[in-house]
């Protein structure tokens, strides 16, 4: 039983050059039952991530050797694991850039440890649910593995998106957002509901995270992301997948 618990322990890579913050994070994560890996600069973070393949990464933006945004991009080229950016700055551009490069979320310093732990748990829980979903689908009829709306087709078993004959490369979080919307075409979904259902947050976080993720998806699936035909904004409400392409 003890061996099983050790095997199931999640490993989190903490990347931060400020020792007091590193110490606080290590202490709290270990208290919650996580294994931790530590990196104090960008190049070390990339090496550890690619070699050890942690379950989640807490990544500071301001790092020596290589900034967090570049680290995020390099890791994302190989691994599709949750990345939460830690930012000392509150500029919108940092937040948006971090998300565009593949981060799943960001939290601004000084942060509440309780809130950060909640976000970590939500991200890890979502990954586990997605894996379980994939395993369960392997036992069902292959016809049920796809969602098709107009030219948009999602293969839920392969986590693959096609527009016509073209395969579109999405991150896991982008795929989950698109899947949630495409499973109910024409139905407007609020940003708050997307945060809860896709990110797994039980509280309303920063809805800008949703907006940036939707923008990333549009840039990949739309012919013109400024004039979307598939992923539509209902101003002041939320987003929906058009059941018929305009």
> Do 92 and 196 fall into the same domain?
no
In a domain, 178, yes or no: yes
Beta-sheet strands, E only, within 5-104: 11-15, 35-39, 56-60, 83-87
Residue 230 to residue 53: CA distance in whole angstroms? 35
In a domain, 221, yes or no: yes
> Do 147 and 116 fall into the same domain?
no
Domain boundary among 98, 130, 162: 130
Domain around 202: 141-241
In a domain, 147, yes or no: yes
> Do 205 and 170 fall into the same domain?
yes
Number of Cβ within 10 Å of residue 156's Cβ equals 17
> Do 79 and 54 fall into the same domain?
yes
Question: Which of 16-30, 113-127, 129-143, 222-236 is the least confident region?
Answer: 129-143
Long-range contacts of 158-165 (CB under 8 A, 24+ apart): 159/134, 161/221, 163/221
In a domain, 246, yes or no: no
Say which CATH number the domain at 53 has.
3.40.50.2300
Of 111, 57, 64, whose CA–CA distance to 84 is shortest?
A: 57
Q: What pLDDT is stored for residue 130 in this prediction?
A: 60
Helix (H) or strand (E) holding 107: strand 105-108
Q: What pLDDT is stored for residue 197 in this prediction?
A: 87
pLDDT over 80 at 186, yes or no: yes
> Do 50 and 145 fall into the same domain?
no
pTM reported for the whole predicted model: 0.73
Q: How many residues does the chain have?
A: 246
In a domain, 47, yes or no: yes
In a domain, 209, yes or no: yes
pLDDT over 60 at 2, yes or no: no
> Do 123 and 26 fall into the same domain?
yes
Q: What pLDDT is stored for residue 146 in this prediction?
A: 86
Q: Do 186 and 240 meet the contact criterion of CB atoms below 8 Å apart?
A: yes
CA distances in angstroms from 116 to 56, 71, 111, 139, 185, listed in the order given: 13, 20, 7, 36, 33
Domain boundary among 97, 130, 163: 130
> Do 13 and 50 fall into the same domain?
yes
pLDDT over 70 at 179, yes or no: yes
Say which CATH number the domain at 160 has.
1.10.10.10
Q: What is the mean pLDDT of the chain?
A: 84
In a domain, 135, yes or no: no
Q: What pLDDT is stored for residue 21 in this prediction?
A: 92
Q: What is the DSSP letter of 142?
A: G
Residue 194 to residue 160: CA distance in whole angstroms? 20
Domain boundary among 80, 95, 130: 130
> Do 93 and 6 fall into the same domain?
yes
Of 56, 43, 71, 64, whose CA–CA distance to 13 is shortest?
A: 56
pLDDT over 80 at 59, yes or no: yes
> Do 9 and 109 fall into the same domain?
yes
> What is the Cα Rg of the chain in Å?
19
In a domain, 136, yes or no: no
User: How many distinct structural domains can be found in the chain?
Assistant: 2
> Do 46 and 126 fall into the same domain?
yes
By percentage, how much of the chain surpasses pLDDT 70?
84
> Do 99 and 163 fall into the same domain?
no
> Do 73 and 151 fall into the same domain?
no
pLDDT digits (tens, 9 = 90+) for 119-178: 899 888 877 766 555 555 444 344 568 899 988 999 988 888 999 889 998 888 889 999
């Amino acid at each position: 039983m003890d061996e099983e618990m050790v095997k199931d322990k999640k490993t989190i890579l903490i990347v931060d050059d400020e020792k007091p913050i590193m110490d606080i994070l290590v202490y709290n994560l270990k208290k919650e039952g996580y294994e931790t890996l530590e990196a104090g600069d960008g190049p070390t973070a990339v090496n550890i991530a690619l070699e050890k393949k942690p379950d989640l990464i807490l990544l500071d933006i301001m790092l020596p050797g290589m900034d967090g945004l570049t680290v995020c991009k390099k890791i994302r080229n190989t691994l599709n694991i949750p990345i939460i950016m830690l930012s000392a700055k509150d500029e919108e551009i940092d937040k948006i850039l971090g998300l565009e490069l593949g981060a799943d979320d960001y939290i601004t310093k000084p942060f509440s440890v309780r809130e950060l732990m909640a976000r970590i748990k939500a991200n890890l829980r979502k990954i586990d649910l997605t894996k379980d979903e994939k395993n369960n689908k392997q036992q069902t009829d292959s016809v049920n593995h796809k969602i098709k709306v107009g030219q948009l087709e999602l293969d839920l078993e392969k986590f693959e998106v096609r527009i016509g004959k073209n395969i579109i490369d999405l991150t896991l979080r982008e795929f989950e957002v698109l899947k949630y919307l495409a499973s109910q075409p024409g139905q407007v979904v609020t940003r708050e509901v997307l945060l809860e259902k896709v990110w797994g947050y039980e509280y309303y976080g920063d809805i800008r995270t949703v907006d940036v993720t939707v923008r990333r998806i549009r840039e990949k699936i739309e012919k013109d992301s400024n004039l979307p035909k598939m992923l539509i904004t209902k101003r002041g409400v939320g987003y929906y997948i058009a059941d018929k392409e305009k």
